[in-house]
Amino acid sequence: MVIQRLAQAAVTMLIAVLAIFVAVRALPANPVIAQFGQHAVPEKIEKEMEARGWNKPLWQQAAAFLAQLATGDMGESFARPGERISTRLSQAVPATIELALAAMLIAIPVGIFMGTVAALWRNSWPDWFSMGLALLGVSVPVFFLAICLVVSFPAMPSGFRLPPGTQHDLRSEFYFFESLLTGQLHLAMLSARHLALPAIALSTIPLAVISRITRNSMMEVLDSDYLRTARAKGASVTRMIARHAFPNASLSVMNIVGFQLGMLLTGAILTETVFNWPGLGRYVIDAIRDYDYSVVQACALIMAGIFVTLNLTLDVLFLLLDPRLREGSRS
């Protein structure tokens, strides 16, 4: 069953790669003309098109692109000649991953707590208060909340991942997690200060969704016959939640957590723009502004790969955790 899911993921990714490739080539604006300007010499434009292979038939371009992609090379930026896209992505993607994980570290425990409280005290003020906050988290635009946070906390840094000029010997682009794991607490604190406001702003929507899904799942489990029997036998609320209710409700919560993580990894554009965070979303915005189709294409591929990988990981986890799925796959 796992091999079948791997094959499905590979086919899905191949279709996504080809679809993105064709969509970029179908865009009306020519990136070479955008680079040199409308009044550029036609011979110069033709020479650049030939150097990049954009004047070849589409199937030849696709074959060359797949061969290049197989080596891990995303090509060269149109707007910044000589800059390898893979190099910039190796810096931008870890920044977005770190921001998304920090946001989920806020959203998951708070959302589960709010949803559990709402389910236990349903139709009372804790339920109304928790779900009111969840509704507010979904309703308030992220960019507006980000601006409010910047204005409300002027002492907190906004922009960059570390203070400019900070000396460090970190080997990866995961500044906070690496400095924390290597015991460089000073760097970890500096990185956490820069992460704080963007992570809080980015966490509001997944927090709201997780709390509502947790509430619905917990209410369904709490109303089951076996928990009513446990309650009648005098089982404590803590024991019922820890031993019975939450493990049975966790699959639904895990599913929405995976989906929300994918949304954060690919949809943090507004948050990164407001906070000047050098991540994938900011890279995409700059590329669209500069008509840098090679970068747009590479970022779209990364986003597609993130979703396919997350869906595959969740499918495998569900197969391992839920025996009913394994039995269904054999029948």
Q: What is the pLDDT of residues 76-132, one digit of tens each?
A: 887 787 788 888 898 899 999 999 999 999 999 999 999 888 988 888 898 999 999
- The pLDDT of residue 294: 85
Q: How many CB atoms lie within 10 A of CB 149?
A: 18
Among residues 66, 30, 77, 65, the alpha carbon closest in space to that of 49 is found at 30
Q: Is the pLDDT of residue 164 over 60?
A: yes
Confidence of residue 74 (pLDDT cuts 50, 70, 90): confident
Say yes or no to pLDDT of 325 above 60.
Answer: no
% of the chain exceeding 70 in pLDDT? 88
Average confidence (pLDDT) over 292-299? 87
For residue 222, give the nearest of 257, 247, 204 by alpha carbon: 247
Enter the tokens of residue 287: 């590329």
Q: Which tens digits make up the pLDDT trace of 252-275?
A: 788 788 888 888 887 678 888 888
- Is pLDDT of 59 > 60? yes
pLDDT at 34: 66
In DSSP terms, 172 is beta-bridged to none
Whether residue 23 is predicted with pLDDT greater than 80 in this model: the reply is yes
16 CB burial (10 A radius; 0-12, 13-18, 19+)? middle
> Given this model, what pLDDT does residue 26 score?
78
Instruction: Please state whether the predicted TM-score (pTM) of the whole model is above 0.85.
Output: no
More confident residue, 48 or 115: 115
Mean pLDDT, rounded, of the chain: 82
Q: How far is CA 146 from CA 39, 142, 253, in A?
A: 41, 6, 26
pLDDT for 40: 66
With contact defined as beta carbons under 8 Å apart, do 251 and 216 qualify? no
Any idea what DSSP says for residue 183? T
* For the chain, domain boundaries: 85-290
Q: Give the pLDDT mean for 307-315.
A: 85
Range ranked top by mean pLDDT from 56-70, 185-199, 210-224? 185-199
Q: How confident is the model at residue 324 (pLDDT cuts 50, 70, 90)?
A: low
d(CA 117, CA 113): 6
Rounded distance between C-alpha atoms, residue 275 and residue 225, angstroms: 49
Provide mean pLDDT across the span 291-296: 85
SS (H, E, C) 222-240: HCCHHHHHHHHCCCCHHHH
Cα separation, 246 vs 13, in Å, equals 34
- Decide which of 199 and 75 is more confident: 199
Q: Which residue did the predictor score with more confidence, 315 or 323?
A: 315
Confidence of residue 200 (pLDDT cuts 50, 70, 90): very high
Decide yes or no: CATH 1.10.3720.10 for domain 85-290.
Answer: yes
Three-state SS for 59-104 is: HHHHHHHHHHHHCCCCCECCCCCCCEHHHHHHHHHHHHHHHHHHHH
Place 48 in a pLDDT band, splitting at 50, 70 and 90.
confident
Token couple for 184: 């460089």
Question: For residue 263, how many C-alpha atoms fall within 13 Å in the half-sphere facing its CB?
Answer: 15
